[in-house]
Structure 1
Amino acid sequence: MSDGLRERKKRETRLALSTATIRLAVERGWDEVTVDDIAAAANVSVRTFRNYFSSKAEAVASRHLERMRQVAEELLARPASESLWEALTAAVLDRFALGHEINADAAPDRHWVDGIRLMLSAPAVQVAILAANAEAQQELSAAVAVRTGTDPERDMYPNLVAAAVIAGCSVAIEQSQRTGSAESIMPLLRHALTGLAAGLPEP
């Protein structure tokens, strides 16, 4: 198996475990879900789960981290003719547009929205998401640095942009949850990124 195929398989397994964790947490409640339940739902062993994640919370946060990693990858692949903020906005919207498959078999309902909110309010999940955001910020900053010819070790700009984008995405998600309609996330993301672009012009 090639390194590329092996890495793709790992990503698929990581996503399957994260998706199963979120589904079960919404359906049953955070405290009612065990690692054994998650492994069974994803058709893998508990040992496999432990090879990827140290906890349920890390599995939940992994989905967000993977999506932000893909934003960074897509940013680097966007046409050079696009401005930084055009490329960033397109990358974020493309990745989030692909993020509805967890509950793709039904329109988001009150049970689903409330379940997501309760899951994200668990202290362990909040800690895991903070750690995921810190890691995602580093990767996005590196991608911004490549696009802008800056150095994340020396220049503030790529780190500032990455932190702002991640914060903007987080605020849009929180606002979507407060309104009770997951479908509102896309215009909220666009609005957040448009506002950020107006305040952080490309150097």
Structure 2
Amino acid sequence: MESTGGLREHKGGLREGGRPGAQGGWPEPRGGLRERKKEATRRALHEAAMRLSVEHGLDEVTVEAIADAAGVSRRTFSNYFGGKEEALLYGGEQRMRALLEEFATRPDDETSWTALRATWRLVHERFGDLDPQWAAQVRLARNHPSVLARQLAHYAEFERALTELIAARDGLPSAGLRHRVMAGAFMTALRVASVTWTEEPSTRSLAEVVEEALAEVAREYR
């Protein structure tokens, strides 16, 4: 395989010259030193998987190449991820987990929809520098059924978790139809906005497109 140097700058790609361990744009990892080191390794493997897949195409990228680019062994890769698709989607999953964590801390006097929109803005502030990686991930998922299937499964998992959190805000032990519809509308808005952002030939930011999508469904939940 040819050299895996930095990528050229282009919409939806990764920033030029970024090393897999540079971790630019990622929020500060939590926990003790051991956990921070583990998180740094996960991020390095994810960024290596992203960069190599954009440069060479996912089908041409091996787990060995990803591990080598991240400066770890094949065995170490297997300790963190079950395959290259899992490594590829790690960044997006972290965004969704951060969204769930942040939503659970929103003030009780906010409506659930207001809390969801505020949560999105806060999470985007933390991860916004990684928008080019997000766009690249969306494109790769669209073009590779194995990645898309895994991504949709994760979306469904996060939607179920979000549904339960919305119900909990209403003081209910289990979710009803309203909670499921709200969570589904929110997750669908994020997904459609992400795809639209990667397809439209404009210079709008991901945040602008997401805000427009959320506004389209907002009136029912104000």
TM-score (norm 1): 0.79
Q: Distance in 2 between matches of 1:11 and 1:169?
A: 25
In the TM superposition, residue 113 of structure 1 has moved relative to its aligned partner by 6.1
2:141/2:151 contact within 8 Å kept: no
**Which residue number in structure 2 is paired with residue 173 of structure 1?**
194
Tell me, in whole angstroms, the C-alpha distance in 2 between the residues paired with 1:43 and 1:66.
22
Question: Structure 2: which 5+ runs fail to align?
Answer: 1-29
Give the percent of matched residue pairs that are identical in Structure 1 and Structure 2.
37
- Once residues 159 and 40 of structure 2 are traced to their aligned partners in structure 1, the CA distance between those partners, rounded to angstroms, is 22
Question: Kindly tell me: are residues 183 and 39 of structure 1, through their superposed partners in 2, closer, same or farther at Cα, counting changes over 3 Å?
Answer: farther
Count how many residue pairs are aligned between Structure 1 and Structure 2.
Answer: 191
Q: How far did 1:42 drift?
A: 2.4
Instruction: Specify whether residues 167 and 181 from structure 1 end up closer, same or farther in structure 2 by C-alpha distance, changes over 3 A only.
Output: same
Q: CA deviation at 1:161?
A: 1.9
Q: Specify which of 90, 97, 100 is matched with residue 69 of structure 1.
A: 97
* 2:19 corresponds to: none
1:141 match: 163
* Contact preservation (8 Å) 1:172, 1:189: yes
Residues 1:14 and 2:14 are matched in the alignment: no
CA pair 85-180 structure 1, distance change in 2 beyond 3 A: same
Superposition deviation, residue 71 in structure 1: 0.5
Query: 1:124-170 CA deviation, whole Å, 9 max, x = no partner?
Result: 11111011112211222222222222334x52232222222111111
Unaligned runs of 5+ residues in structure 1 are: none
Higher RCO (CA < 8 A, seq sep 6+)? 1
Query: What root-mean-square deviation, in Å, do the aligned CA atoms of Structure 1 and Structure 2 show?
Result: 2.8
Q: CA 1:113/1:164 → structure 2, altered by over 3 Å: closer, same or farther? A: closer
Contact 2:102–2:119 under 8 Å retained in 1: yes
Residue aligned with 1:44, SS: coil
